Structure 1
Amino acid sequence: MTTPFKADPAFDPGSVVVCDWPLCQVRLQDDSRFPWLILIPRRAGLHELEDLTPPERSRLMDEVVRAGDIVRSLGQAAGRPVQKLNVAALGNVTAQLHLHVVGRRHDDGLWPDPVWGRGSAAPYGANGLQVALSRIRLSPGG
């Protein structure tokens, strides 16, 4: 019997589930300072990239590129076009395999420092969150 996928509860306070793609659960980081998606492969017990099969690693890269397109469109819609796309699989706080896809700008307030654990998040608020979720779900890659 296989263990079903469950996202680590540590993701819940700072992000919102958007949808499921073929491999990953897609979450929006609730921080309006940055267009930011989190991809969590929907397989139980994953901690490292090598825990995925070669076809799953290929699928993950496809989904990262798809997420990058959406992050860029979120930045454009907010009037803050993304200048640099950051992709990272840190896992220092949450060991479950996940990738952050974050849109950065040279004037984003934290540039050139990393966004992880820096400053206070600026939550979208109910209306802003619904707008962002709709944009993601309606985007060509969403």
Structure 2
Amino acid sequence: MDELELEFKLHPQLKADTWVIGDFPLCRLLMMKDANYPWFILVPRRAGVTEIYHLSAKERAQMIEESAELSETLADLFMARKMNVAALGNMVPQLHLHHIVRYEDDVAWPGPVWGVAEAKPYSDEQVTSIFKKLDVLLEGELDFILEIDAP
């Protein structure tokens, strides 16, 4: 573990809005507490990183690999019509990459999801089911380590 990973702390807003699922070699995988959309976030475990260009070339490549693996897994698991992947950071400066599963009948289609609907809570059973499925699908993928902190 390098110094930047030792100093890594999840931004308070991300911590409040998500559950931790686990870690890829570079990024922590989070799930948004919003059942309107299957919505996941990758956060590089590097202190002080606010932009993708703050990562080394090797880390940028690793983040893209993790993002691609996650996108494919989510698209298959949730039978996505489209995967929205975005890094905004206007409200939360810590670098994080949203992975949102979209459907033509979701509340925000075809526009962006931000500010469209109030967050809808998941049931404990829904969260447990999603985490179990992700654990099976991500097991062994890019050295993913499950580390659930959900209800």
TM-score by length of 1: 0.89
Once the two structures are overlaid, the 10-residue window that deviates more, 15-24 or 32-41, is: 32-41
Q: Superposition pairs for residues 8-19 of structure 1, below 5 Å? A: 8-19=11-22
Deviation at 1:134, TM superposition (A): 1.2
Deviation at 1:2, TM superposition (A): 3.8
Aligned length, in residue pairs: 137
| 47, 69, 74: which one aligns with 2:50 | 47
Supply the AA of the counterpart residue of 1:55: K
Please state if 1:68 is matched with 2:71: yes
Report the Cα distance in structure 2 between the residues aligned to 1:13 and 1:135, rounded to whole angstroms.
Answer: 23
Q: 2:132 maps to which residue? A: 134
Percent identical: 36
Supply the AA of the counterpart residue of 2:88: L
Q: 2:80 maps to which residue? A: 82
Kept after mapping to 1: 8 A contact 2:107/2:116: no
Deviation at 1:90, TM superposition (A): 0.3
Q: Superposition pairs for residues 99-114 of structure 1, below 5 Å? A: 99-114=97-112
In structure 1, the gaps of 5 or more residues are 76-80
In structure 2, the gaps of 5 or more residues are 145-151
Once the two structures are overlaid, the 10-residue window that deviates more, 1-10 or 130-139, is: 1-10
- Root mean square deviation, CA, Å: 1.6
Q: 1:78 maps to which residue? A: none
**Is the partner of 2:16 in helix, strand or coil?**
coil
Normalized per residue, the structure richer in helix is 2
Deviation at 1:19, TM superposition (A): 0.2
